[in-house]
Amino acid sequence: MNHMCAWFLANYEDPAENTPCDGGQYVYIWGEPVDAIEELAGEFMHLFAEELLNEAADKLNGEYDCFGWVPKPVYEPEEP
């Protein structure tokens, strides 16, 4: 389960971390919000039982109090 959580946190975050706001509403410039369970299932369903996927999603949602995760921003290096 720790591997799944680590993978998820390397790729997704709470929108409050880096997602810009406009008039109090998030502007999802790096991708729309996702559910942890859907992303974990898409990545790990072939490796882990559904029960473990659900446990990992519950841990992430509960520990970080987030239910609408967004992809982490990808910054392109500036050209010289």
Instruction: Please determine, for residue 78, whether its predicted confidence score (pLDDT) is greater than 90.
Output: no
Please give the pLDDT value at position 47: 96
Predicted local distance difference test score (pLDDT) of residue 80: 73
What average pLDDT does the structure give for the chain?
A: 93
pLDDT of residue 9: 97
Average pLDDT score over residue span 39-63: 96
pTM for the whole structure: 0.88
Q: Give mean pLDDT, residues 1-16.
A: 95
Of 63, 73, 67, 65, the C-alpha closest to 19 is 73
Q: How many Å from the N-terminal Cα to the C-terminal Cα in the chain?
A: 42
What are the structural domain ranges in the chain? 2-71
Dihedral angle computed from the Cα positions of residues 18, 21, 26 and 29, in that order, rounded to the nearest 10 degrees? -60
Residues 20-46 pLDDT 10s: 999 999 999 999 999 999 999 999 999
